[in-house]
């Protein structure tokens, strides 16, 4: 069956901010063999392109004068295992949280701290997603992708992906060049528990756990995230809108002169990470509304669409937040969400 290319498609149901934006053309790719067909069409028409997964990390500020390639490749395959590890190949269109739950059911450890992160598996290496002391880089084995310009298929090793804090080769050097089809994971048969970050230990105490398991950690993370982060089905959002900035120690010392309580986390001997949410809150933005959008009342890192907001409104709000933080703390925040 040939691919169906649709014209003038509203992307409102395809992004978690709930923003209406009209795509010039739109195609769903649900078979690996269809990738080349879509890319051949792309090269023939010489139209711009946008690869879209779950739409949980994008803000549309205008209509999309491009062909939207929606990744709907599904499947989870156990490739091999040894005494210590299991090796799993996952199609890029799989929902990330559903994949985490699948791992927990099979007692595959390593991704439990990443429960309830929105989006698709294909976006996980692009963003080097992370939460509660664990990052994608600790479980990634490889990434399979197709070159958008040549249709060449290539497998990127972990080192090839050049993962950094919410960064990868796919977001910088090779941005827009690859359509990710599958992600390979190396997971543990014997779990290594990470409960020292955030409120996980406190949540586990509330749960009165006798014998710790990856399922318990997942349940704790889900409870914490659910208590602080709005459900996109109810209140449009894209999760954390800003990155936590990494700054030199001298910048921290300057901030501490007027804010002794500013939290920070050492990165190395010369740099620290300062929570962006703390600075946004202390600049007076937490819970503040601007027309149809605002800063969430429980988590200052999250910008929300109260209904009917345009992407431009949300972008303008983010700029105002960034300006105030720069004026108060001397730090330039960076948007984590992709802006179109």
Gyration radius of the chain over CA positions: 21
336 is an active site residue: yes
Cα angle at 143 between 237 and 131, to 5 degrees?
Answer: 40
Length of the chain: 340
What DSSP state is assigned to residue 284? Answer: T
Active-site option among 56, 138, 240, 318: 240
335 is an active site residue: no
Active-site option among 37, 162, 167, 336: 336
- In the beta sheet, which residues pair with residue 89? 77, 184
Contact 263, 278 (CB under 8 A): yes
297 is an active site residue: no
What is the full DSSP assignment across 272-323?
EE--HHHHHHHTT-TT-EETTEEE-SS-TTEEEE-SS--HHHHHHHHHHHHH
Cα separation of 73 and 52, whole Å?
12
Residues 6+ apart with CB under 8 A from 111: 99, 100, 103, 134, 139, 185, 187
Q: Compute CA 308 distance to the chain's CA centroid, rounded to the nearest angstrom.
A: 24
Active-site option among 115, 135, 138, 166: 166
Which amino acids are annotated catalytic? Answer: 166, 240, 336
């Amino acid at each position: 069956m040939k691919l169906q290319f649709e014209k003038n498609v509203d992307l409102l149901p395809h992004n978690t901010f709930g923003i209406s934006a009209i795509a010039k053309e739109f195609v769903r790719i649900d078979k690996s063999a269809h990738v080349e067909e879509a890319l051949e069409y792309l090269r023939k028409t010489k139209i711009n392109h946008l690869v879209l997964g779950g739409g949980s990390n994008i803000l549309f500020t205008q209509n999309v004068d491009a062909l939207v390639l929606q990744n709907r490749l599904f499947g989870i395959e156990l490739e091999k295992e040894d005494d210590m590890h299991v090796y799993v190949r996952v199609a890029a269109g799989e929902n990330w949280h559903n994949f985490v739950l699948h791992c927990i059911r099979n007692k595959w450890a390593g991704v439990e701290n990443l429960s309830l992160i929105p989006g698709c598996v294909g976006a996980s290496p692009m963003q080097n997603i992370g939460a509660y002391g664990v990052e994608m880089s600790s479980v990634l084995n490889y990434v399979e992708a197709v070159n958008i310009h040549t249709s060449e298929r290539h497998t990127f090793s972990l080192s090839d992906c050049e993962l950094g804090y919410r960064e990868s080769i796919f977001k910088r050097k090779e941005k827009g060049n690859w359509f990710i089809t599958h992600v390979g994971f190396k997971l543990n048969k014997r779990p290594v528990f990470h409960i020292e970050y955030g409120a996980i230990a406190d949540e586990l105490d509330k749960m009165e756990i006798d014998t710790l398991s990856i399922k318990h950690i997942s349940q704790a993370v889900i409870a914490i995230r659910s208590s602080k982060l709005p459900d996109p089905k109810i209140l449009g959002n894209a999760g954390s809108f800003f990155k936590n900035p990494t700054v030199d120690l001298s910048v921290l010392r300057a901030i501490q002169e007027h804010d002794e309580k500013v939290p920070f986390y050492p990165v190395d001997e010369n740099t620290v990470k300062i929570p962006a949410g703390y600075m946004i809150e202390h600049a007076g933005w937490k819970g503040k509304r601007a027309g149809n959008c605002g800063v969430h009342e429980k988590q200052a890192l999250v910008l929300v669409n109260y209904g009917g907001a345009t992407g431009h409104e949300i972008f303008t709000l983010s700029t105002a937040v960034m300006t105030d933080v720069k004026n108060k703390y001397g730090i330039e925040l960076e948007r984590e969400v992709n802006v179109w």
